[in-house]
Chain A
Amino acid sequence: MENCEPDRNHVDLASDVGPDVSVEERHGPGCNRRDFLRRLGALSGVAAGSLIMPALGGGGISGDTASAEAGARVGTSGGVSQEAFREKLSLKECMFYKRHPEAEVECEMCPRKCRVGDIERGYCGVRENRDGAYYSLVYGLPCAVHIDPIEKKPLFHFHPGTNAFSLGTAGCNMDCKFCQNWEMSQARPEQTDNVYLPPREVIQRAGQASCTSVAFTYSEPGVVAYEYMLDTAIAGNKFGIKTVMISNGYINREPMLDSAKHLGAVKVDLKAFTEKYYKELCDATLKPVLETLVLLKNSGTWYEIVYLVLPTLNDSDSELVSMSRWVVQELGPDVPLHFTRFYPIYKMKKLPQTPISALERARKIAMNAGLHYAYVGNVPGHEGENTYCPSCGKIVVRRIGYSIVEKKLSAGRCSYCKTRIAGHWG
């Protein structure tokens, strides 16, 4: 679960479905075209306000509660009915699983390796065993869709100043106590209000909105909705629209390798540098995340790291030094590392927000360890948001929040000293 990009804003989407959408493909014979269009019309009406639809109680994390609640009603009134959702809309056989006797399956998507009995779901809550076959329940079914600056992911070295068509589905393979988007990530797909947006339509909408990338983000769709992301990436590449995976990095080697071939970039949350933290706060383990980072480095895929700093829990000098040294040694000095600010939420409402001084200290430790691009995140206007040339020290990209206010780069090189700045500058 991405921990630094709360899903708070809303964006209009076109209300028409587009000419190339097959009703039969979506609904099968049980739903006629008129019903489908009626449902979609209801959906579109809501889309005009927002497509974030946290349904755990109808409130949600959006600042715009009225819009969020309007969205939340979609699933139970004019929108995609629960039964239709379950039975017709979203069955896509999973990749990377093994069948076992007695209709059991073993998921091989992430290090959990869930062994799942018939009619049960994996830990993520969105992959279900049906009679010995394993299905994704969120293929083409995001519950949040927005257009965000790519900087919000955050990806600072990947086509800065562009927009990413961003979507998230229900489900996550971790349970971080500080999750900013827990209403989505910790929900099952029948608890969120979803819209049907198959891969080609995602690309179509992204193109209409002049987005140069599609981001699978907010929750953990890159892992739990892997098939959706992969098909979208393949479809997008035909039109020059890159897919980026915003992820906790808790994924097995094979699926990561396969998807990396098609992805434009990956952002990985390195939540801490101790197994204890991962176990106690995320219900996961650190080692596979480090392995994913090394794999990304070797694959040549562009990637950046976010480290959400939680006061007293992962911000000791020793941990930050160890982590920074590991990054430099194993990944090299050019990987951007974002130290982002924590805000109290979910199961950690009593922990104070991260002091800015802690972020600055972390950034300094990383720079001292040899990293070229260390950032302070979630503190708009902070000088640590800027990209500095590692050679001459001048600002090559000046940012305020998610906005680029100045860019001194030419063909990916510092305009002052011509040093190459790592990244995809477009």
Chain B
Amino acid sequence: MGERAKDNSSNNISRRGFFKKSLTLATALGASSFIAGSLIDSETGNTLAAALDSNTSGVGPSPAPARPSAPRDLPRALVVLARKTGRDDDRQTLCRLLVEASLRRLANTERPEDAWAKFFKPDDVVAIKVNAITGKKLSTSLALVEAITEGLMSCGVRSDKIIVWDRTTWELDAAGFRVNFAKEGPLCFGTDAPSMGYETSPTIVGTVGSCFSRIITGATTAMINVPVLREHSVAGVSVALKNNYGAIHNPNKYHADGCTPFVADVNMHPAIRNKTRLVVCDALNVQFHGGPGYKSRWTSGFGGVLVSTDPVALDAVGAEQIDRMRNSAGLRSLSEERRYPGYLSVASDRTHALGISDRSRIDVVNMELA
């Protein structure tokens, strides 16, 4: 497939060691799942909670976590970071390569369709949460979404059971998505679509009281979160966890204190927590400063994706990548600006147990596709 596994960015493990470790991780993931229901037939959202950090440090941006060596018996998270170098492919080909390679690595399978089948069943109704708030400039790539829908269909999910969505239909349209209410899928519309809307009463989840989108609280059985990798002036970063602000009717109420603990609390809603099986983060272009509004001077062509079943770990790795770009551009780190997302440690505390934020317990597989 022309791919190669680079050395682990944090631990410098050998190729053999990596395969050994990824096999172990895949097994561990299958057994305990970082997101409840993240693998088929897994109902283990709570089982992980007992083993997670007890770090419940409070409100407000926190400094980036230190990296002491983690005890070996604690669960670990896996994030696959796939990039394509070399000759330019068209967007569709590039995204297909990135998604297939990263999914196979994440699921530890040879064939991409087998990887998809580890996460989704043919009778699933899958909601793909994109991020379309910046129009065509820096929204989730259409080609990436196409690669994902192809992958879903490869494992038997019917196209009319796939819904590409965000908060409003017009934003999807403005971002270039083909709005589709028809029976032939994949469907594509916002929460504001006729017969959708928000729940009629607010659900209280921790500090958050919001009406959640019926797209995810309704007939959907599974969700794929497809955010964009970008810095956020208030939240520090806006990646997987923050992307779910698009599921609530009143995100403007939850931007104080660096969005902490609100981002973590929004993700505690059962529909999000239990249905999210996969995060595929669009890092084709990455905005490392000045977000969430698009600023070309602080956007870098990264040409990659980050994939994980653990949204907290993916966000932590995403923040790390953003900091690297900031460093290259001569900007201070998020921690130095006291904007490192504090909600990551909250999301991984015992109460939330949404994933792992402790960087020493996150394995990053860097894949560079030739």
A residues in contact (CB < 8 Å) with B: 55-59, 73, 75-77, 81-83, 86, 102-104, 115, 117-125, 129, 131, 175, 177, 182, 186-188, 190-191, 283, 346-347
Query: Which chain B residues border A182 with CB–CB below 8 Å?
Result: 202
Rounded to whole angstroms, the CA-CA distance of A175 and B207 in the bound complex is 12
Distance (Å) between the CB of B39 and the closest chain A CB?
33
Residue B194, interface by CB 8 Å = yes
How far, in angstroms, from A269 to B292 measured CA to CA in the complex? Answer: 35
Say yes or no: A117 contacts B252, CB within 8 Å. Answer: no
Contact in complex: B252, A56 (CB < 8 Å): no
- Please name 4 further chain A to chain B contacts, defined as beta carbons within 8 Å, in addition to the given A56-B199, A129-B293, A182-B202, sorted by A numbering: A57-B197, A119-B133, A175-B253, A347-B202
Task: Check A186 against B197 for contact (C-beta < 8 Å).
Answer: no
Closest Cβ of chain A to B287, distance in Å, is: 11
Interface contact B198-A57, CB-CB below 8 Å: yes
CA A182 to CA B198, docked complex, whole Å = 14
Q: A82-B169, A119-B133 are in contact. Are A76 and B211 (CB under 8 A)?
A: no
Within B237-292, the residues touching A (CB, 8 Å) are 249-250, 252-253, 255-256, 290-292
B303 partner residues in chain A, CB cutoff 8 A:
none
Q: A117-B234, A186-B249 are in contact. Are A347 and B293 (CB under 8 A)?
A: no
Taking the nearest CB of chain A, how far is it from the CB of B322, in angstroms? 16
Partner of A119, one of B201, B253, B292: B292
Interchain CA distance A82-B255 in the complex, whole Å: 24
Q: Is the interface of A mostly helix, strand, loop or mixed?
A: loop
A76 to B189, CA, bound (A): 13
Question: Measured between C-beta atoms, what is the minimum distance from B167 to chain A in Å?
Answer: 9
Provide the residues of chain B in CB contact with A125, threshold 8 Å: 250, 252-253
Are the C-beta atoms of B290 and A102 separated by less than 8 Å? yes
Which residue from chain B places its CB closest to the CB of A121 in the assembled complex?
B252
Contact at A123–B168, with CB atoms within 8 Å? no
A-side contacts of B201, CB under 8 Å: 57
Known contacts: A57-B199, A175-B253, A347-B209. The answer to whether A117 contacts B292 by CB under 8 A is yes
Distance from A280 Cβ to chain B, minimum over Cβ atoms (Å):
11
Residue B170 contacts which of A82, A117, A177, A191 (CB distance < 8 angstroms)? A82
Chain A residues closer than 8 Å to B214, beta-carbon distance: 57
Interface class of chain B by DSSP: loop
**Given the complex of chains A and B, what is the CA–CA distance between A347 and B194 in angstroms?**
26
Residue from B170, B233, B255, B291 within 8 A of A123 (CB atoms): B255
Within the assembled complex, what's the spacing in Å between the Cα atoms of A75 and B192?
Answer: 9
Contact B192 A177 (CB under 8 A): no
CB–CB A117/B293 < 8 A: yes
Inter-chain CA distance A253–B292, complex, in Å, is 31
Pairs A-B, 8 closest by C-beta atoms = A118-B293, A57-B200, A125-B252, A119-B293, A117-B233, A83-B170, A59-B200, A82-B170
B204 within 8 A of A: yes
Chain A proximity of B132: nearest CB distance (Å): 11
Whether the pair A347, B198 counts as a contact (CB closer than 8 A) is no
Chain B residue at minimal CB-CB distance from A128: B252
B252 touches A86 (CB 8 A): no
Contact A346 B202 (CB under 8 A): yes
Chain B's interface size range is: 20 to 34
Find out whether the CB atom of A119 lies under 8 angstroms from the CB atom of B134. yes
In the bound complex, CA of A84 to CA of B104 (Å): 44
A77 to B193 Cα, complex, angstroms: 10
Query: Can you identify 30 A-B contacts, CB atoms within 8 angstroms?
Result: A56-B197, A56-B198, A56-B200, A57-B197, A57-B214, A76-B193, A76-B194, A81-B170, A103-B290, A103-B295, A117-B232, A117-B233, A117-B290, A117-B293, A118-B290, A118-B293, A119-B133, A119-B292, A119-B293, A120-B292, A123-B253, A123-B256, A125-B252, A175-B209, A182-B202, A186-B253, A190-B192, A191-B192, A191-B198, A347-B209
Report yes or no: B250 in contact with A187, Cβ–Cβ below 8 A: yes
Q: With contacts A191-B198, A346-B202 known, is A120 near B293, CB below 8 A?
A: yes
Residues of B contacting A76 in the complex (Cβ-Cβ under 8 angstroms): 192-194
Residue of A nearest to B167 (CB): A190
Interface pair B204/A82, CB less than 8 Å apart: no
Which of A57, A58, A75, A122 has most chain B Cβ within 10 Å? A57
Q: Which of A73, A190, A347 is within 8 Å of B204, CB to CB? A: A347
Contact: B170 with A86, CB < 8 Å? yes
Select which of A83, A118, A119, A191 is within 8 A of B249 by beta carbon.
A191
A343 to chain B, nearest CB (A): 16
Q: Which residue of A lies closest to B291 (CB)?
A: A117
- The answer to whether A123 touches B252 (Cβ under 8 A) is yes
Does A188 contact B253, Cβ atoms closer than 8 Å?
A: no
Closest to B210 in A: A186
**Chain A residues near B292 (CB-CB < 8 A):** 117-120
Which residues of chain A are within 8 angstroms of B169 by Cβ–Cβ distance?
82
Residue among B133, B170, B292 with the most chain A CB within 10 A? Answer: B170
Q: Given the interface contacts A86-B170, A117-B291, A190-B192, does A57 sit within 8 Å of B211 by beta carbon?
A: yes
| Residue numbers in B under 8 Å from A129 (CB-CB) | 293
- Check A188 against B250 for contact (C-beta < 8 Å): yes
CB closest residue in chain B, given A346: B202
Report the separation of the CA atoms of residues A129 and B134 in the bound assembly, to the nearest whole angstrom.
13
Residues of A contacting B234 with CB < 8 Å? 115, 117, 120
Contact of A190 among B168, B200, B252, B295 (CB under 8 A): B168
A87: nearest chain-B partner, CB-CB: B170
CA distance A82 to B189 in the complex (A): 13
Q: How distant is B101 from chain A, measured CB to nearest CB, in Å? A: 33
Shortest C-beta distance, B205 to chain A (Å), equals 12
> What mask results when residues 185 to 223 of chain B are scored 1 for a CB within 8 Å of chain A, else 0?
000000011100111111010000101001000000000
Chain A neighbourhood of B173, CB < 8 A: 83
Q: Which residue of chain A is the closest to B202 with respect to CB atoms?
A: A347
Please give me the residue from chain B that is nearest to A55 by CB atom. Answer: B197
- Residues of chain A lying within 8 A (CB to CB) of residue B253: 123, 125, 175, 186, 283
Q: Which residues of chain B are near A117, meaning CB under 8 Å?
A: 232-234, 290-293
Query: Looking across the interface, which residue of chain B has its beta carbon closest to that of A112?
Result: B256
**Closest CB-CB distance, B243 to chain A, in whole Å?**
15
Taking the closest CB of chain A, its distance from the CB of B176, in whole angstroms, is 15
Q: How far is the CA of A346 from the CA of B234 in the complex (A)?
A: 28
Contact for B250 among A57, A177, A186, CB less than 8 A: A186
